[in-house]
Amino acid sequence: MNSVEVCFSPLLFEEFAKPNSIVVVVDIFRATSAIVTAFQYGAKSFIPVSTIEEARELATQGFLAGGERDGEVVAGFEFGNSPFSYMNEKIKGREIALTTTNGTRAINIAEKAEATVLIGSFLNLQALADYILTQGKDVVIFCAGWKNRFNMEDSLFAGALTNLLLTSGKFYSDCDSANASSLVYRTGRKNLMSFLKSCSHRKRLAHLNLEKDVAYCLQRDVTDVIPVLKDGRLVRLLP
């Protein structure tokens, strides 16, 4: 039987990382939700980078540039962090350089773990769980959080995925953060939007008139797309 654990902050990831495991990186509001959406709409790949300068350099090489800091689009970039910005024909077959406040940093950290790195969101939750259940590996759900701090929306997702894995009978958890996430999700699952009304990042996005993004990112099982990190690029996992 395999284990499932939850890491609440990038600062803690070294304590959870283990070779030959699966690491699910999640940044619900909004990086991983946007990445999943972009693949659903035909993007070829993403290169996740930690700095604006790296994304700008890749843009000079023909990549589309996506960038966000503190919820707002980086000046001069074609895309930010909104799933809606990737719902267009322009991204079909294209490679995108992406840098965000939290999500791409977490992906770059996870890459060092010698593990399979997958991208998670509520949008692909069931497909992700179904795939993981076929792999026979321990799982770490890596919450990007907000500037190294715990956040509620990523933890809700962690609880949702933990529940699916535990109820399969193929996983166990001796991890308090996984068990806490599971409890939080079971408490709020009937109405995630309402449950997150006092969430700091939801308030932050509301101030930027991005409540539509929040509602979209909390939809469950919109797609079966699973992005996977291979040689520094996120590509679509094929059946």
> What does 133-185 look like in DSSP terms, one character per residue?
TTT---EEEEE-TBTTB--HHHHHHHHHHHHHHHHTTSEE---HHHHHHHHHH
* Residue 237 forms part of a structural domain: no
pLDDT at 92: 96
Query: How far apart, in whole angstroms, are the C-alpha atoms of residue 133 and residue 76?
Result: 42
Q: Would residue 78 count as lying in a domain?
A: yes
Asked if the structure places residue 109 within a domain, the reply is: yes
How many distinct structural domains can be found in the chain?
Answer: 1
Alpha-carbon distance values, 174 to 4, 6, 52, 53, 178 (Å) = 8, 11, 39, 41, 8
Look at residue 210 in the predicted model and tell me its pLDDT. 61
Domain for residue 232, yes or no? no
pLDDT in tens, the chain (239 residues): 999 999 999 999 999 999 999 999 999 998 999 999 999 999 999 999 989 999 999 999 999 999 888 878 898 898 988 999 999 999 999 999 999 989 999 999 999 999 999 999 999 999 999 999 999 999 999 999 988 999 999 999 999 999 999 999 999 999 999 999 999 999 989 988 888 876 765 566 665 656 788 899 999 999 999 999 999 999 999 76
Instruction: Write out the H or E segment, with its range, that includes residue 232.
Output: none
pLDDT, residue 195, reads 82
> 233 forms bridges with which residues in the sheet?
230
- Whether 191 is in a domain gets the answer yes
Q: Which domain holds residue 203?
A: 2-227
Q: Is the pTM of this model over 0.85?
A: yes
The whole-angstrom separation of Cα 58 and Cα 62 is: 7
| Residue 87 belongs to domain with CATH number | 3.90.1560.10
Q: What integer pLDDT is reported at residue 239 of this predicted model? A: 65
- The predicted structure's pLDDT at residue 23: 98
Whether residue 220 is contained in a domain is answered as yes
Has residue 29 been placed in a domain?
Answer: yes
Distance CA 24, CA 4 (A): 11
Is 235 domain-assigned?
no
Measured between alpha carbons, how far is residue 198 from residues 64, 186, 205 in Å? 35, 18, 12
